[in-house]
Structure 1
Amino acid sequence: MRIDLDPDSDVVQEQFAVVYCPRRKRDRFPEGSVEVVASAEAARAGANATKNRYAAMVMGPSRSSEGARLYYLIEWLDQDAP
């Protein structure tokens, strides 16, 4: 993980999400590419590989040095993930 967590804050946290990602080689995603959902089941239900939308567990949002809000990949939730 490339971000440090503050144990006294709950701003950055692990979350289930559907991530738009044309190439699954990346491990961080801009906020606009991430749809946070309530559960792993909801993430899997919202996934659609033909539209490059994949279920994942992410950490975020976190501000980059450029000021962008980013989410970091913890793991893909589907079985055929690289």
Structure 2
Amino acid sequence: MPNVIIDPDSRSLHQRFALIHAPRRTRARFPESSVTLTADEAAARAGADAGRNLYPAEVYGPSRSSEGQRIYYLLRWLT
């Protein structure tokens, strides 16, 4: 997992809990369409469903990629 520099003064980027739709958990960043933000860590864990490839995680973003997509960076998997 790459090191993600977190800017505590940023007004647009935040650490959040989420469910990530990921067929493989080897990526370090995910498009916004694969990420469902949750209210808290407990909600992310409760929504996990490995059968549907939904995994709880802590993410940072959204950020713009060089291709113009909004992406979230994986900070850690919660499982």
Matches within 5 A, 1:1-82: 1-2=3-4, 4-78=5-79
Structure 2 CA distance for aligned equivalents of residues 55 and 7 of structure 1: 23
Q: Percent same amino acid among aligned pairs?
A: 55
Give the length in aligned residue pairs.
77
Unaligned runs of 5+ in 2: none
RMSD: 1.3
Give the TM-score normalised by structure 1.
0.86
Structure 1 CA distance for aligned equivalents of residues 26 and 53 of structure 2: 12
Give the match's secondary structure for 1:42.
Answer: helix
Structure 2 CA distance for aligned equivalents of residues 28 and 39 of structure 1: 20
Residues 15-60 of structure 1, C-alpha deviations (whole Å, 9 max, x = no match): 0000000000111000000000110000001110010000000001
Letter in 1 for 2:13: V
Structure 2 CA distance for aligned equivalents of residues 20 and 67 of structure 1: 20
Following superposition, the deviation at residue 7 of structure 1 comes to 4.1
Give the TM-score normalised by structure 2.
0.89
Unaligned runs of 5+ in 1: none
